[in-house]
Amino acid sequence: MTDDVMATPIAGRSLWGDAWARLKANRAAMFSLYYLIAMAVICVVGPYFVPHQYTTIYADYVRTAPSLSSYPKPDMIETALAEAVKRMRVDVKEWHQEGERVFVTVASSKAVDERNARYLDRSDTFDDAKVEGKSADGREMTMSASVKQQYFFFGTDNTGRDMLSRTLMAGRISLAIGLLAGFVAVTIGVVYGATAGFVGGKTDEVMMRIVDVLYSLPFIFFVIMLVVFFGRNFVLMFLAVGAVLWLDMARIVRGQALSIRRQEYVQAAEALGVRTRGILMRHVIPNLLGPVVIYMTLLVPQVIILESFLSFLGLGVQEPMTSWGVLISVGAKNIGTANWLLLFPAFFLVSTLFALNFVGDGLRDALDPKDR
Amino acid sequence: MLLYVLRRLLTAIPTLFVIVTLAFFLIRVAPGGPFNQERGLSPEIKANLEAQFGLNDPLWLQYAHYLNNLLHGNFGPSYNLPDFTVGELFAKGLPISIQLGASALILALILGTLLGTVAALNQNKWGDYSVIALATAGSTIPTFVIAPIIQLVFGLSWKLLPIGGWGDGALLNKIGPVLTLALPQIAIVARLMRGSMIESLRSHHIRTARALGLSDWSVVVRHALRGAVLPIISFTGPAAAALLTGSIIVETIFAIPGIGRYFVDAALNRDYTLVMGTVVVIALFTIVFNLIVDIMYAVVDPRVRYD
């Protein structure tokens, strides 16, 4: 018996292994994590599978309500047909539908040109137009065309663009911006805060005064100044936004670095003659990582909200590129007539923010040393 | 105490000075000027306009001018709304923003404290969980989503409230904006209150009060609440400053003529005086409310003394 026990020594769990085990036990956080992964995958891969490009304009389907069945609806065929025939400058004599195909006979006072059939193809509703026959005097012509079946699960927007592909594209942009700006903020904040905390003394004093002064300026003023400087180039702008959000990170890291420096194990390491570099790598940085990771998960939703806020004001991402903020701002202006323009992007944004929050809370519980 | 207040007000002056200076030079460094965007403005007229507002003077002179005017309570003329001075714009818009902000703040403080206390008293029961759920929702859903949804539900579907507009301050017009402003704040207050109330209920004097046989009501309201409101008070300072100076989102969506909208428009149009005016007003509010908070602290908690 005892031999068996001795044969498999119990492996201690590392800080990260321990945290992971705690996180796995937190069902809300794990569900949110999977949700976020699914959301990211759908937004990145999804647009390739949606048959509509996010920039394609379907003139026949402006502000079409979301529907699980295919378009065109039976009553839409006649309007689309009338529209196409109007372009031919002829009159509809008779039309009927046989299965997938529509047959239309047109009449005119002059001879009807066969090339007119292409007007049917140009419509978003029809496809594969053919001339079936002409009357002897050429003033009547019968054409047929198949009805193009299209799906708009999320409906279409004011110019007739598919909302599903737009919402997914928007998600790509919003998530990418959140990660990008979050990463910039964390990098600047960690470097600045760790330097101030570790160097200490007068340098620390001056560096932190600078942070205080930047804090006292209204935040939105800062962001708008950056927008003004960097124009509407959104990548540059969100690097800049990241460059604004580092203030909290710097404070947290500095405080942490200061307190770690004063720990006995660091003094012991110093007494043993470990170099500064070694102390930084072995003691300071691993102990800093926890708060940094937690703060980063809380920062990403902040950035996404900020991006949406700026896009809402018309300062962020510009058309035809889109983001959840852009879509919500359009939706907010059209709630009376087309509420799906608001509801779908709002659901995507809010559920992502929720999930990010739960993951952040879960990580805080998993990594918080006070909790052990 | 009076001495402390005076000293705090004195230290506010250099802070304000630094903010004004920074904002002044930041907006001036930005490319473009207030009269660049106007269409069909001939170079002569533009030059004249710039001369009239003294924009051709050296920057330090303009800065000195601005500071001098500011000290006399004069915010200067607005460049892009030429019929108004910045002071007049504030006189019209600020009362509206303050009304909405103050209502939202009071609502948030009352409801938030109440919900937080209920949650703390029912810790880990369904009452607690529903408050936590509400708080999470309130603090994650952005205002620019809440506002149109309030419009959609109460304005369009149920037709209870007007969709937007100020309506000369009619009560119904205020409900939507106040709710939108208040919801995130209710969430924060409830969360803070829950945490500090749980802590407060665990403390020794509460145990003593219970041992003395005081009623639940008396224990919670007279003894626990007093210790628990401290975090709420420190939250109130910055929150009040932010709420009372108007929210651009709420004012844009509900078409409210407050001052929240000016900031962004002014910065984009390089309306220098209006931007500066807004920065000064926000900074003033922040300083004053932080001072009020510190005084309140001493009133609520006798252990806090300022000599």
- Residue A135 belongs to some domain of the structure: yes
Which residue has tokens 């106007």? B38
Closest Cα of chain B to A304: distance in Å? 10
CA-nearest residue to B142 within chain A is A305
Write out chain A residues lying below 8 Å of B19, CB-based.
216-217
Pick from B19, B151, B267: which is nearest to A228 by CB?
B267
Other residues' Cβ atoms within 10 Å of the Cβ of residue B54: 12
Residue A332 to residue B263, Cβ atoms within 8 A: no
Last residue of a domain, one of A112, A129, A147: A147
Write out chain A residues lying below 8 Å of B285, CB-based.
none
Q: Phi/psi of residue A25, each to 5°?
A: -75, -15
Residue A335 to residue B152, Cβ atoms within 8 A: yes
Contact (Cβ atoms closer than 8 angstroms) between residue A279 and residue A269: yes
Closest Cα of chain B to A85: distance in Å? 38
Alpha carbons A348 and A35: distance in angstroms, whole number: 11
Do A105 and A141 belong to one domain?
yes
CA-nearest residue to B137 within chain A is A354
Do A91 and A164 belong to one domain?
no
Residue B248 to residue A313, Cβ atoms within 8 A: yes
Alpha carbons B22 and A292: distance in angstroms, whole number: 30
Do A243 and A264 belong to one domain?
yes
Strand partners, A92: A106
pLDDT of residue A310: 82
- Residue A196 belongs to some domain of the structure: yes
Is the bond leading into B14 cis (omega within 30 degrees of zero)?
Answer: no
Last residue of a domain, one of A119, A147, A175: A147
Q: Report the complex ipTM.
A: 0.79
Cβ within 8 Å of residue B135, ≥6 positions away: B115, B186, B187, B188, B190, B191, B194
Closest CA to B23 of B228, B276, B210: B276
Do A335 and A234 belong to one domain?
yes
Write out chain B residues lying below 8 Å of A354, CB-based.
136-137, 140
Please tell me the total count of domains within chain A. Answer: 2
Optimal mutation site among A312, A326, A348, interface B, most CBs of chain B within 10 A: A312
Optimal mutation site among A36, A222, A224, A365, interface B, most CBs of chain B within 10 A: A224
Pick from B18, B144, B267: which is nearest to A213 by CB?
B18
Do A135 and A79 belong to one domain?
yes
Chains A and B form CB pairs within 8 A to the count of: 94
Closest Cα of chain B to A218: distance in Å? 7
Residue A218 to residue B142, Cβ atoms within 8 A: no
Strand blocks (E) in chain A: 91-98, 101-107, 126-134, 140-147
- Residue A4 belongs to some domain of the structure: no
- Residue A54 belongs to some domain of the structure: no
Per the structure, the complete domain to which residue A99 belongs is given by 72-147
Last residue of a domain, one of A147, A179, A207: A147
Averaged pLDDT, groups of 10, chain B, 307 residues long: 82 84 84 68 77 80 87 83 85 92 95 93 87 87 89 87 84 91 93 90 90 89 86 86 88 88 81 87 86 82 71
Do A346 and A277 belong to one domain?
yes
DSSP state of B168: G
Alpha carbons B76 and B269: distance in angstroms, whole number: 16
pLDDT of residue A139: 78
Alpha carbons B190 and B184: distance in angstroms, whole number: 10
Alpha carbons B225 and B117: distance in angstroms, whole number: 8
Residue A346 to residue B145, Cβ atoms within 8 A: yes
Do A241 and A278 belong to one domain?
yes
- Residue A10 belongs to some domain of the structure: no
Do A80 and A225 belong to one domain?
no
Contact (Cβ atoms closer than 8 angstroms) between residue A247 and residue A217: no
Strand partners, A156: A162
- Residue A57 belongs to some domain of the structure: no
- Residue A203 belongs to some domain of the structure: yes
Predicted TM-score of the model (pTM): 0.82
> Quick one: tokens of A14?
């590392």
Optimal mutation site among A228, A323, A341, A352, interface B, most CBs of chain B within 10 A: A228
Residue A328 to residue B144, Cβ atoms within 8 A: yes
Do A224 and A292 belong to one domain?
yes
Residue A93, helix vs strand vs coil: strand
Query: What CATH number is given to the structural domain containing A195?
Result: 1.10.3720.10
CA distance readout (Å), B301 to A354, B234, B293: 36, 12, 12
Write out chain A residues lying below 8 Å of B144, CB-based.
308-309, 312, 325, 328-329, 332
Interface of chain B against chain A, CB under 8 Å? 15, 18-19, 22-23, 26-27, 30-32, 136-137, 139-142, 144-145, 147-149, 151-152, 156, 163, 248-249, 252-253, 263-264, 267-268, 275, 278-279, 282-283, 286
Alpha carbons B279 and B17: distance in angstroms, whole number: 11
CA-nearest residue to B32 within chain A is A228
Query: What CATH number is given to the structural domain containing A131?
Result: 3.30.1360
Alpha carbons B270 and B169: distance in angstroms, whole number: 31
Do A32 and A138 belong to one domain?
no
Buried b / exposed e over A134-151, threshold 16 CB at 10 Å, is: eeeeeebbbbbbebbebb
Residue A162, helix vs strand vs coil: strand
- Residue A6 belongs to some domain of the structure: no
Alpha carbons B302 and B294: distance in angstroms, whole number: 12
Do A94 and A208 belong to one domain?
no
Those residues of chain A that have pLDDT short of 50 are: 1, 371-372
Alpha carbons A139 and A133: distance in angstroms, whole number: 11
Do A131 and A268 belong to one domain?
no
Write out chain B residues lying below 8 Å of A350, CB-based.
140-142, 145
pLDDT digits (tens, 9 = 90+) for A106-127: 787 877 777 777 787 777 778 7
Q: How far apart are the first and last CA of chain A?
A: 32
CA-nearest residue to A304 within chain B is B142
pLDDT of residue A8: 61
Interface of chain A against chain B, CB under 8 Å? 213, 216-218, 220-221, 224-225, 228-229, 301, 305, 308-309, 312-313, 315, 325, 328-329, 331-332, 335-336, 339, 342, 346, 349-350, 353-354, 357
Cβ within 8 Å of residue A10, ≥6 positions away: none
